Amino acid sequence: MMMKTLKASVAGLALCAAPAFAEDVEVLHWWTSGGEAAALNVLKQDLEGQGIGWMDMPVAGGGGEQAMTVLRARVTAGDAPTAVQMLGFDILDWGNQGALANLNAVAAQEGWDAVVPAALQEFAKVDGKWVSAPVNVHSTNWVWANKSVLDANGIAVPTTWEEFTAAVETLSAAGVTPIAHGGQAWQEATVFDAVAMSAGGPDFYKSAFIDLDAEALGSDTMKEAFDRMAFIRANVDDNFSGRDWNLATAMVINGEAGFQMMGDWAKGEFLNAGKVPGQDFLCFRFPGTVEQVTFNADQFAMFDQGGTVSDQQAALASSILSPSFQSAFNVVKGSVPARTDVSDADFDDCGKQGMKDLAAAASSGNLFGSMAHGHANPAAVKNAMYDVITAHFNGEYDSATAVEELVSAVEIAQ
């Protein structure tokens, strides 16, 4: 009896001493590269400081396709994770199925409506309810370059497609791999975001990728975009097939290649390797897309754990949206804040430019959702486009055929 009482009071003590949130949050994400893991640590530490434990559920694979497959299996098994890294249309899809928790209380208390850009709110709310917490804004139309390689070959930052092709040919003639690329469908699609924007401009990008206008999809401009992809394909190294994106970034970091076309998560790899923008590497908008931004925003969608949002979910959402976290995390990740009121003081030159570009593109009508990263269309259409872009890149058919395939694949997928 005595023993029982003692045990009960020790248990009581333990309960009192326990942090306010005794349970872990289980977070499913695809941040597995060195730079991504460093950024994720900022979030883990932030939560640890509040007594919230972190149960890691990483699913490797840039762009998140594999993570979304694992998520579907978990939800089907009735075992949804607490929070899931998610992009654009996937959030809307799960939200419309009623699978996500309602974050309106924390959003109202912290005034998210006033500070989160409208373009992000479109993907964070379903029927007027906040269902996910925006972490950042990435954009896909960037080029990353090794500065010494460019300097050694007398190459200035190219601003047009013609200057870019000339730079690539100079590197090729010098025996340097001009373009570091990882041959995976999502990476080819990422390059295609920028290439299509550059070939056809913003109206074309919107008609083809967002409005899915058959005429734009089947146009000569689209053929030109595929021709430009063929040029890029001709200037990657022989071992590109299947390479992870961060290994392609490493080629630029190590001076084994001149350029990589990739979203600004690539900057996280340069920083993680101790490299400095302007000194060791250069960041610039894909030639011909200087005013445009093709964006994707990582958000943490909160899965409904039985009616109401849990304390842990609310705390996670609140941490993510805090201005100090938005700065600390995005400085490391390579992205820019998902709030309009965060100072750029702690960001490097590429980050400052990213913040300026985003604001300018939003106010001049030049901000568009990334086709490659789930912000232009639902997964079925996105994947249909991936298939055609990657088949063409791998030489399965020529540009004229790719255009025809694209039109029919998109029609079928809708």
Q: Pick from 207, 296, 299, 313: which binds ligand BGC (CB under 6 A)?
A: 296
- Residue 258, both tokens: 């001149």
Q: How far is CA 86 from the centre of its chain?
A: 9
Position 75, amino acid: V
Q: Pick from 21, 47, 57, 63: which binds ligand BGC (CB under 6 A)?
A: 63
Stretch that binds ligand BGC, among 58-66, 248-256, 307-315, 392-400 (CB under 6 A): 58-66
| Residue 63 vs 288, nearer CB to ligand BGC | 63
C-alpha separations of 388 from 87, 141, 412 in Å:
21, 20, 13
Mask of contacts with ligand BGC, 215-254, x by CB under 6 A? ----------------------------------------
Compute, in degrees rounded to 10, the torsion defined by CA atoms 344, 349, 351, 352.
Answer: 40
Note whether 62 binds ligand BGC by CB under 6 A.
Answer: yes
Note whether 36 binds ligand BGC by CB under 6 A.
Answer: yes
| Residue 298 vs 405, nearer CB to ligand BGC | 298
Stretch that binds ligand BGC, among 61-69, 88-96, 106-114, 115-123 (CB under 6 A): 61-69
Tell the smallest beta-carbon distance from residue 336 to ligand BGC (Å): 12
Q: Pick from 25, 27, 30, 388: which binds ligand BGC (CB under 6 A)?
A: 30
Note whether 287 binds ligand BGC by CB under 6 A.
Answer: no
Note whether 298 binds ligand BGC by CB under 6 A.
Answer: yes
Tell the smallest beta-carbon distance from residue 163 to ligand BGC (Å): 28
Tell the smallest beta-carbon distance from residue 247 to ligand BGC (Å): 12
Tell the smallest beta-carbon distance from residue 36 to ligand BGC (Å): 5
Compute, in degrees rounded to 10, the torsion defined by CA atoms 79, 85, 88, 89.
Answer: -20
Tell the smallest beta-carbon distance from residue 64 to ligand BGC (Å): 5
- Residue 142, both tokens: 């960037």
| Residue 138 vs 181, nearer CB to ligand BGC | 138
| Residue 190 vs 221, nearer CB to ligand BGC | 190
Q: How far is CA 369 from the centre of its chain?
A: 11
Tell the smallest beta-carbon distance from residue 62 to ligand BGC (Å): 3
Give the footprint of ligand BGC on residues 134-163 (CB under 6 A): 138
Mask of contacts with ligand BGC, 349-388, x by CB under 6 A? ------------------------x---------------
C-alpha separations of 37 from 168, 201, 222 in Å:
32, 35, 37
Note whether 265 binds ligand BGC by CB under 6 A.
Answer: yes
* Cα three-residue angle 273-146-294, rounded to 5 degrees: 90
Tell the smallest beta-carbon distance from residue 33 to ligand BGC (Å): 7
| Residue 223 vs 333, nearer CB to ligand BGC | 333
Residues binding ligand BGC (CB under 6 A): 30, 36, 62-64, 87, 138, 265, 296, 298, 373
